[in-house]
């Protein structure tokens, strides 16, 4: 396994969270860990909105929880109003950055090429990009899911990537926030396709792949029941400390 044998439990808070409730959520999660030295067999990552990244990162410092941004620019600094550079993400102590989430692809025009530039820039700063790929319902229905996944992987993963410095999140677009989870067989098929493409592009199948799409405490055990899944990227359920914790517990 690229990072460790620990399952990765990543929470994408999306555009949710004001100061008060985000502190509460973070404290509730921290309280779940009995001591900072506990080895729970999973790596928890939370990705708050940019306004709270610095503060939440300071709150979890020294704990088993790491933080990530939900996006970053491919540029390092300068006249790019509204953008957040990977240097800034690194500066506040975050270690990860979600890139190419389907919401960014759909609403903000992010192409594979843009995602690859951002991922390269994040890698150059020592951040670990969590690169999201996944087919839409239409693509699934016409039987092109595997081809879409291959194309997204080949073109969103930057040239300097290795299986050890990036994470892939397989997130079928039709499963995000819809309550519909991919079947275990779909997850196995697509994850093994991703490994095949990783071998083609990066020379090894041994890449960390997260599944994302309506993961809840009720279905997490099944999602983790295959070795193909190295972790999960959780949206809605990561906003509730008990739910997120129970998903993490289902991984061990
Ligand atoms: C996501 O946004 O990455 C996600 C997987 O959302 P949800 O868990 O709400 O489907």
Q: Where are the domains of the chain?
A: 7-249
User: Which of 131, 187, 212 most suits a substitution to test ligand 1, by most atoms within 8 Å of the C-beta?
Assistant: 212
Q: Is 156 in the pocket of ligand 1 (CB under 6 A)?
A: no
Q: Which fold has domain 7-249?
A: TIM Barrel (3.20.20)
CA-closest residue to ligand 1 atom 4: 235
User: Which of 171, 175, 181, 240 most suits a substitution to test ligand 1, by most atoms within 8 Å of the C-beta?
Assistant: 171
Task: Kindly state the DSSP code that residue 133 receives in the 8-state scheme.
Answer: E
Q: How far is CA 160 from the centre of its chain?
A: 19
pLDDT tens by residue, the chain, 252 residues: 445 689 999 999 999 999 999 999 999 999 999 766 666 789 999 999 999 999 999 999 999 999 999 999 999 999 999 999 999 999 999 999 999 999 999 999 999 999 999 999 999 999 999 999 999 999 999 999 999 999 999 999 999 999 999 999 999 999 998 988 889 999 999 999 999 999 999 999 999 999 999 999 999 999 999 999 999 999 999 999 999 999 999 999
Q: Can you tell me whether residue 39 is helix, strand or coil?
A: coil
For the purposes of burial, counting CB atoms within 10 Å of the CB of 16, is it exposed (0-12), middle (13-18) or buried (19 or more)? Answer: middle
Distance 168 CA to ligand 1 centre (A): 14
CB 113 within 8 A of CB 155: yes
Q: Is 214 in the pocket of ligand 1 (CB under 6 A)?
A: yes
Upper half-sphere CA count for residue 131 (Cβ side, 13 Å):
33
The residues, ordered by sequence, that sit 6+ positions from 21 with a Cβ below 8 Å of its Cβ are none
For residue 191, indicate whether it is catalytic.
no
Residue 155 sits at φ, ψ, to 5 deg, of: -105, -15
Q: Is 181 in the pocket of ligand 1 (CB under 6 A)?
A: no
What tokens appear for 72 in the block? Answer: 């970053």
* Predicted structure pTM score: 0.96
């Amino acid at each position: 396994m690229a990072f460790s044998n620990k399952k990765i439990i990543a929470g994408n808070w999306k555009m949710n969270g004001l100061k008060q409730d985000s502190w509460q959520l973070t404290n509730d999660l921290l309280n779940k860990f009995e001591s900072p030295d506990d080895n729970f067999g999973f790596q928890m990552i939370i990705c708050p909105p940019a306004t709270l990244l610095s503060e939440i990162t300071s709150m979890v410092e020294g704990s088993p929880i790491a933080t990530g941004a939900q996006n970053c620019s491919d540029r390092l600094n300068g006249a790019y109003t509204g953008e957040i550079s990977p240097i800034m993400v690194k500066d506040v102590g975050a270690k990860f950055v979600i890139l190419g989430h389907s919401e960014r692809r759909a609403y903000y025009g992010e192409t594979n090429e843009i995602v690859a530039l951002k991922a390269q820039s994040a890698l150059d700063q020592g951040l670990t990009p969590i690169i999201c790929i996944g087919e839409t319902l239409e693509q699934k229905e016409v039987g092109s899911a595997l081809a879409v996944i291959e194309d997204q992987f080949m073109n969103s993963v930057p040239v300097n990537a290795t299986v050890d410095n990036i994470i892939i999140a397989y997130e079928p677009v039709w499963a995000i926030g819809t309550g519909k989870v991919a079947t275990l067989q779909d997850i196995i098929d697509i994850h093994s396709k991703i490994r095949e493409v990783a071998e083609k592009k990066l020379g090894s199948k041994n890449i960390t792949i997260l599944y994302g799409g309506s993961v809840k405490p009720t279905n997490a055990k099944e999602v983790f029941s295959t070795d193909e899944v190295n972790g999960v990227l959780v949206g809605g359920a990561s906003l509730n400390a008990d739910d997120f914790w129970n998903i993490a517990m289902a991984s061990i």
